[in-house]
Structures are given as C-alpha cells and as structure tokens.
Amino acid sequence: MILNQLNMQDMIGPACQEYLGFHDYGLSIMLGVFVIVGIFLLYLQFSGGIVFDYTEDTKLEFFWTFIPGVILISLALPSLKLLYLMDSPGYSSLNYAVKVVGHQWYWSYELIFQGSELNYDSYMLAEDELVLGDFRLLEVDNPLLFLAGCFNQIYVTSDDVIHSFALPALGIKLDAIPGRLNSQIVSALYVGSYYGQCSEICGMNHSFMPINIEVVKEIK
C-alpha cells in the first residue's frame, strides 16, 4: 500500500503508458549512476589515500567521456519518441469530440458524438452528498464521458481566468486560456472512473473544481 502511494498511478492510455515506462527507465539509469559513483566515493574515502604514479590515461579519459555520452543518447532517443506521441498520438476513428470550458469554479462539457450534442456543467459534490466509497473533493455531479478503445479529440478553453485541465491517468494537462483553444487526442483502454483537478491557481476556490472522467464502452 505504501509503495502504491509513492509511485505514480496506473496509466490507462497507450501514450501515457509510454510516459510511465520512460520515467521508470530514466529512474533506473539514475539509480545505477548513483550506486556506481557512491561506490567510488566510498572506496576513495576508506582506501587510505592512495596516490597513483601517472597523471594521465588516454583510455580512462575516453571511457569516462564515451559512457556518459551513451547514457545521454539512450535517454534522448525515447524522449524524442515521446515528444512525437504527445503531438500526434493518433487520429479519431469516430466522430466524437469533447469541448471543455473552465469557469470559476466548475467545468462545462460539450460532447459531439455522431451528429448529436450534449452540453452540461460539472460541479464538485458537497460532503453531505457523498456516499460510502466516494472520494472527498474529487466527486462531481456530472462526470465527463469518454469512449474506451478509440481516440477522443478534446478541446480546452476558459471563460474567465486561466485554468488547467489535468488528468494524470490519461496523461492530459492542457491549459484553459480565455480566447485560446488547446487540443489533444487521447485514448483510454480501460473502462472505469478516473480523477484529476485544475492544476492552475485560478482563485480562492481553485481546489474545488475536480475532474471526473467516466470511460465507457458506448454512449447512449
């Protein structure tokens, strides 16, 4: 249970699963470098002050330049791949789009699906409205609906001040800026309920505009 709280939450999209894999990969490299450098430091600390007779070594200088270069390249290549996935994760296979509008302090959703539209607001539930199993400060009266197993086009803007539509499980963090429309294509693989919050300090009730996304197989 403690490890689950220290680590990142499970990702439900193919692109954000790549993000999590790159995070673990980079963390393992950092841990390896830390261990190797720590071993050398401990060796120098307890070796009794060994003094070497030579002042230069071409092979040693080559390896301590070549090995860090290889490590940097091994980090750069998957990083470039992730940058590409963030900009073009795929193309929407269905006529489904979501427009998210941030307000002080709630969200408005406009769903366009196969020619029909659905508009509604989403407010945080008060504590006296929660039932057993609900999450405090995260539950809403009208969650946002996403289709599972396909690409969903999402547009984000704001009606008043700058907000930020952030949902870690889907790898979404889009700034909601008045007069500007930011977009991203996301895909959810698993049906369920997932939570996020506004990650921009938008006013006194900034912490009271949560995001609840319900991933479903179909929208009736």
**Per-residue tokens: 162:** 């700058």
Terminal alpha carbon distance of the chain? 37
CB 152 within 8 A of CB 98: yes
**10-residue block means of pLDDT along the chain (220 residues)?**
62 82 91 92 76 73 90 91 71 71 93 83 90 88 87 89 92 91 86 90 89 83
Single-letter amino acid code for the residue at 24: D
User: What are 19's two structure tokens?
Assistant: 């993000």
In the chain, which segments carry CATH 1.10.287.90? 14-87
pLDDT tens by residue, 46-73: 776 666 666 677 888 888 899 999 999 9
pLDDT at residue 93, rounded to an integer:
54
Taking CA atoms, 160 is separated from 76, 92, 107, 179, in Å, by: 39, 29, 12, 9
Q: What is the pTM of this model?
A: 0.77
* CATH architecture under which domain 14-87 falls: Orthogonal Bundle (1.10)
177-213 pLDDT tens trace? 999 999 888 888 888 899 999 999 988 888 899 999 9
Identify the pLDDT of residue 66: 93
Question: What is the pLDDT at residue 2?
Answer: 46
Residues of the chain with CATH 2.60.40.420: 97-216
Instruction: Please report the pLDDT score of residue 1 as a whole number.
Output: 43
Cβ(160)–Cβ(100) under 8 Å?
no
Residue 205 corresponds to which tokens in the numbers above?
């009730």
In CATH, the number for domain 97-216 is 2.60.40.420
Adjacency order of strands within the sheet including 182-187: 116-122, 106-113, 96-103, 151-158, 182-187
Report the candidate in 174, 178, 182 with the shortest Cα–Cα distance to residue 161: 178
